[in-house]
Amino acid sequence: MGLDEDIIDVTAGSVVRVGQGVWRTWRALPESDGQLRWICIRAGASELTNYPRDATRDHERDSPW
């Protein structure tokens, strides 16, 4: 998982807290036994009242790997 310019190794069941304003990206390693099939990104500890649509994709920024 990429957080700004840092790379964090995560495995199944990992929990990572990411602050506001931090650019984030993720990928499965090419040599992984399986594909990245599911990722949950969640904010807050309360029920979501709607499906947020405030994320944008940054095509200009290079990935950290």
pLDDT band at 3 (very low <50, low <70, confident <90, very high): very high
Q: Residue 43's pLDDT is what? A: 65
Per-residue pLDDT, averaged over 9-27, amounts to: 85
Q: Residue 19's pLDDT is what? A: 82
pLDDT in tens, 43-62: 666 777 777 777 777 888 88
Q: Residue 6's pLDDT is what? A: 92
The sign of the CA dihedral 7, 42, 20, 56 is: positive
**Cβ atoms 18, 24 nearer than 8 A:** yes
Q: Which of 45, 33, 23, 2 is nearest to 12 (CA)?
A: 33
Domain boundaries defined on the chain: 1-43
pLDDT in tens, 24-46: 888 887 788 777 777 777 766 67
- Give dist(CA 3, CA 33) in Å, integer: 24
